[in-house]
Chains A and B, each alone.
Chain A
Amino acid sequence: MIKDFNALIGWVTETIPCNQFILVTDCQTDGSFAIHNFLSTFVRSHHKVIFLSLGQSFGHYNSVAQKLGTNLSSAKSSGQLTHIDGLQFSLQLCRDSSEDKTPGEKLSVFTECLRCGSLRPLYLTIMDLIKSQSTSSTPSPVSVVIDDLSLLMSLGFKAQAITEFIHYCRTALWKLSQNAGNLVTLVHDDADGLDDDASHLVIALSHQTDMLIKVEGLTSGFSKDVHGQVTIVHRGLHQSTPGRRKATSVHYKILDKTVSFFPMGTSSAVL
C-alpha cells in the first residue's frame, strides 16, 4: 500500500521529497489511511517524526502501522518518533479547571492554549521538540504529522487560530533548512456543511498547501467494492508546467492490510 500510495502522489524515488506541506481532506468518508501511510513512510525513510494525535490513542496508530509493516512503537522507543498524546487534552482540561487544583500548579499545554485563545503554547511545544530532534548527532529530516486538525475546532478553537498554528509549524520546519521534513495534517471537509468556520479552515489551508489529497466518499452512495475517490492536487511553482495535469483522481478500496488504488471505473467488481 505504501508503495502504491507514494507512486500515486509522485513519490517514486528512494528519498522522499521534503519541505512540503501536505493537506489531507476527507469528505463523507474517512481519510485517515493517508495519515497512516505518511507515518509509515516517514518512519521508513528515517525521518525524525513528531506526531500529534488528537482523536486516537497511540496504540491504534501502532496497530495499523504494524499491518502496514512498520513498527511505530519501536520507532518511539528509539526516539525516532515523538508522540504528543492529544487525546488526553480535554481530560487535562477538566483536571486543570477543577477546584482541588492548587493555584501554583503548572497547567497543561492545552489549557494554556485555551486560556490565551491561541495555539501558541502547543506550537512552542512542537517547536522545542523539533529543535531537540534536529540537534541530535545524526541529522535527518524532521517531519510533523497532525491527526486530525478538525478536532481542535470541536474543542473550541476558531479556524483562524488553527491556520496560524499550522503556519508556525511550517515556519518551524522551514528553519531547519537542510533537515526540513514535511508537515502532514488531516482536516474534515464537510462540503455539504453549513459550518462556515470549518469550511473557512479547509479553504485557508488549501491555499497554503503544496499537495492537497482529497478523499471523498462516492456521491452515488455506498459501495462494497469502491470505498471512495482520492484526488491529488499538486500546487506551487514547480508544479505549474502548462499542459500537465496537476490533478489526478483514482478510486480506492480499503482492505485489511492495504489500500488498493485503481483508475476510476476499473474496480474489480466492474470488470
Chain B
Amino acid sequence: MPSVFLQNVKGQEGSSFLLFEDSRTHSGRLLLYALANQISERFDQFHVFTTELSPDETSSYIGSEVSSKLILHDIWTDPLGWNNPAEETDPLKLNPGSDFISRLCCRLAPSVSKIVVVIDTISSFLPYHTDSQMCSAILSLVTASERISDIQNVQVLGLLHSDLHSEKTVKALRYLATTQIKLSVEDPSLSTIRDAHGVFEILQNKKNGKVKRQKEVYRVDGNHHLELSVYDQQQKQENSHGNDAQPDPTANLTFNLTLKESERIAKEKVVLPYISNKDKSELVTPPGSGQIFYEPDDADDFDEEDPDDDLDI
C-alpha cells in the first residue's frame, strides 16, 4: 500500500491546506517540516510564519536543499509589540485576514508561482482571534492565486496544538483542511515500533469526493528526509514481540506451574473440604449409608446446656 501522506508532496491537486494536529506528548513539528522540506524542493518559495520557535531554532528544521528558498516571517521575537510600544502593530493581534497575505506579498519574489506556507503555529494566533477570523485568514492564503496574479499553487501547512483548544475551534479548522494529519497522542518514545518517530493518522479529502484514511508510521533522519510506512496492527505486534518480550516466569522451573486442559478439569472436580454441608451430602454421602444414630438412655448423663453456646455456629 502506498503512503497517502507522500501524495501530498506532489501537490498535484492544486492549492491545499494541510492541518497537523499534535499534542503535548507528541510534537508534530518534525513531521510538518519534513513534509514542507520535501514539497519545497519543487516549489519556488518556502514561507514560514514562526511564533513558537526562535528564528535559529526554526532554521534547524529546514533542509539544506531548500534553505535558499526559505523566507522566514518572524513573529516570535516580538509578537505583541512589547518591546516597541510606539509601533502599533502587534503581529499576533493584527487583522489576520489581510495580514498573512500582505506579509507574504512583501517578500514575494517576481515570477513566483508555486509557494509553500508553513504556519507554526496556528495555536499562537487563536487566543487573539475568533475561529472564523482565523479560518478566513487561512483561506485567504489558500486562495491567494485568486488575488495575486502570478501565483498558481499555494500549499499551506498549519500546526495546531489540538489539546489547547476547544473542540469547536479544532472542528472549525478541520472543516477548512483538505488534509488532516492527526499525530497519535501516545508518547512516541514509549511506542513499541522500533526506529520510528511516531504514528499519525491521515485523512485526505479529495476533490472528487473520495476520502482516504490511513495510519502511517514516520521517521525523519538527520538530513530531514522522511521515511514512511503504512501502519498495521501486525507490524506493531511483531515489533513489540521482538522488542521487549516479557520474560515468562513459568519457564525453566523445576516444578509445574501450568495446567493442561485435562488437569484443569480434574482440578475443578475436586471437592474442597469445608464446603457447606448441603452440597457435600449430595456429592459424597448417599442417604442412609453408614450413618450413626444414637438414642440416649436413662444412664446417660445428658447435659442440657450447650457447651458451645458462645460459638454462634
Contacts and interface: CB of A to CB of B under 8 A. Distances in A.
Q: Are A and B direct contacts in the complex by CB distance below 8 Å? A: yes
Interface of A: 120, 123-124, 127, 160, 164, 167-168, 170-171, 174-175, 200, 203-204, 206-208, 235-238, 240, 242-247
Interface size class of B (residues with CB under 8 A): 20 to 34
B82 A120 contact: yes
Given A207-B164, A244-B189, A171 B123 contact: no
Contacts of B188: 246
A270 B197 CA distance: 36
Interface of B: 24, 27, 29-30, 52, 54, 57, 60-61, 76-80, 82-83, 123, 127, 161, 163-164, 187-190, 194-197, 219-220
B219 A242 contact: yes
A246 B30 CA distance: 15
Give the interface centre of B77, B82, B123, B194 by most chain A CB atoms within 10 Å.
B82
Question: Chain B interface mostly helix, strand, loop or mixed?
Answer: loop
A203 B189 contact: no
Nearest to B187: A247
B24 A203 contact: yes
Contacts of A243: 194-195
A174 B83 CA distance: 14
Main DSSP-derived SS at the A contact region: helix
A208 B78 CA distance: 16
Given A123-B82, A247-B190, A200 B164 contact: yes
Contact of B127 (A124, A160, A171, A236): A160
A247 B77 CA distance: 29
B132 to A, nearest CB: 20
B197 A240 contact: yes
Nearest to B77: A171
A246 B52 contact: no
B163 A203 contact: yes
A4 B41 CA distance: 46
B103 to A, nearest CB: 19
A126 to B, nearest CB: 11
B182 to A, nearest CB: 16
Given A167-B79, A237-B61, A204 B164 contact: yes
Given A171-B77, A204-B164, A245 B30 contact: no
